[in-house]
Chains A and B, each alone.
Chain A
Amino acid sequence: MYDIKALYEAGSVEEAVSLLVEHPEAQIIAGGSDVLVQIREGRRAGVELVSIYGIDALRGICYDEEEAIRIGSLTSFSHIAADPIIQEKFPVLGEAVSLVGGPQIRNIGTIGGNTCNGVTSADSASTLFAWDAVIELTGPDGIRRLPIQEFYIKAGKVDLRPGELQTAILIPKKAYEGYTGRYIKYAMREAMDIANLGCSVNAKLSQDKKTIEDVRIAYGVAGPIPLRAVTAEAAVKGCRTDQKTIDAFGEAVLSDIHPRDSWRASKAFREHIAKVLASRALKESVLRGGGEICE
């Protein structure tokens, strides 16, 4: 039995918005795998909740009119991983969300919840950062869209205004077409774990597959919120797909990341792993793009 003061259930986005306006103190609950745990801990005990879990319109994946991949915010991780559009155009996201917790968590956990709680370790978030995702929010004043990097404000805080809920995550066509990538989760266990570090890399190769035309890299847990390693991206853009480039990429990330010391892992350890993961993920991205690592 949870210490919940009141629960309001929304059946549609419009209803959710009006419930949120009507109950300004209320917090949104989607799949609840974080919210309910925090209520039990006492951190959110006695809350009012607006449940959006029943809004089926927010589930599913499709292309929008501009061929962006549109992921409904309530789509569960397991449904994302099994979706044919994701498997064809954005398999890295499927791989990333298949590393969240365990199977039951992937059935209840939603991508909207994963991004709205603003935590740096979210397995989907670094990949969404690395693929220039756009967040769609719906509120009393209608719909607004913003790049995911602007959505995250600080640890645990995202740009969700009163009365708003996240309704979709979009990957524009130019952000996915021609890119191949890889997400590597670094954790202490092979399942049921949170990332000590997450690294998502993708690259677009030249026609002859010998040059990295574009590269994007984002981390989870390398800072208080997910972040892009822009120095590293600049350092290897236009470079040959060789081992030197792979190594240089790993070295360069240190100028971008600022992990902290905690009991979960030391700063030095996280920095070391960040380098190794960057290099390995870039290498895989190149290989998946049909390239090879030349000497």
Chain B
Amino acid sequence: MSNRYKLIKCTINGKEREVMIDVRASLTDLLRNDFRLTSVKKGCEVGECGACNVLINGECFNSCIYLAVWADGKEILTLEGLSDPDGGISDIQQAFIDEAAVQCGFCTPGAIMSAVEILNEGRELSDEEIRIRMSGHLCRCTGYENILRAVKKTMLKRLGKAEQ
């Protein structure tokens, strides 16, 4: 088949990458298989569950329904990219631990990446707004309660506000 492979250049978790990809691949396939970034999870493969969510140029996308070829020229951030090289973790990851927002952990990477998008805006959101912004993630373990707490606490902390 012609045009089956394409060379793309992109930045993944801060590193510039050049990779030959099968044009049939989803971004999930690329990240999981070629880069072993296994925080990108497969839960439905049709963009419903949010487990494969990653940031592309700062916005959240379900990588399962995003063609890998489209990553050409883009900056991609996965959960693995949040840890610093010494193994330190970000405030939102710590908040997920502290607020018991993690159970089976399968939706966790995607949910944290949506939280990153929200927190990067540097705005204060109401509980209702946080719920709207996190609503692309299905979770069967937490009832979303502690995920909301973790996002809210981190948001307030970054804004220098105490929790009411």
Given contacts A1-B22, A1-B29, A53-B70, contact A107 B61 (CB under 8 A): yes
B60 close to A103 (CB less than 8 A):
yes
User: Which of A29-37, A164-172, A275-283 is the interface stretch?
Assistant: A29-37
User: Which of B76-84, B132-140, B145-153 is the interface stretch?
Assistant: B132-140
Pick from B25, B135, B138: contact of A1, CB below 8 A: B25
Inter-chain contacts of A51 with B (CB < 8 A): 67, 69-70
A103 close to B133 (CB less than 8 A):
yes
User: Which of B10-18, B42-50, B91-99 is the interface stretch?
Assistant: B42-50
CA distance A165 to B59 in the complex (A): 26
What's the tally of chain A residues with a CB closer than 8 Å to chain B?
29
B156 CB–A CB distance under 8 Å = no
B45 close to A40 (CB less than 8 A):
yes
CA distance A32 to B61 in the complex (A): 12
A101 close to B3 (CB less than 8 A):
no
Chain A contact surface mostly: mixed
A273 CB–B CB distance under 8 Å = no
A108 close to B136 (CB less than 8 A):
no
A192 close to B136 (CB less than 8 A):
yes
B66 close to A32 (CB less than 8 A):
yes
CA distance A169 to B135 in the complex (A): 28
A8 CB–B CB distance under 8 Å = yes
A104 close to B136 (CB less than 8 A):
yes
CA distance A7 to B29 in the complex (A): 17
Given contacts A104-B60, A191-B132, A192-B48, contact A1 B26 (CB under 8 A): yes
Task: Name which residue of chain B comes closest to A3, CB basis.
Answer: B24
Given contacts A1-B29, A7-B3, A37-B47, contact A108 B62 (CB under 8 A): yes
Inter-chain contacts of A105 with B (CB < 8 A): 47, 62, 136
B154 CB–A CB distance under 8 Å = no
Interface centre among B22, B47, B132 (most CB of A within 10 A): B47
Inter-chain contacts of B3 with A (CB < 8 A): 6-8
B1 close to A107 (CB less than 8 A):
no
Pick from A37, A54, A78, A192: contact of B59, CB below 8 A: A78
Q: Which residues of A78-111 have CB atoms within 8 Å of chain B's CB atoms? A: 78, 101-105, 107-108
Task: Name which residue of chain A comes closest to B114, CB basis.
Answer: A103
A102 close to B22 (CB less than 8 A):
no
A2 CB–B CB distance under 8 Å = yes
Q: Which residues of A1-40 have CB atoms within 8 Å of chain B's CB atoms? A: 1-9, 29, 32-33, 36-37, 40
Question: Could you write out 6 A-B pairs with CB less than 8 Å apart?
Answer: A1-B24, A1-B25, A2-B25, A6-B23, A37-B46, A54-B70
**Contacts from B to A (Cβ < 8 Å):** 1-4, 22-26, 29, 45-48, 50, 53, 59-62, 65-67, 69-70, 114, 117, 132-138
**Contacts from A to B (Cβ < 8 Å):** 1-9, 29, 32-33, 36-37, 40, 51, 53-54, 78, 101-105, 107-108, 190-192
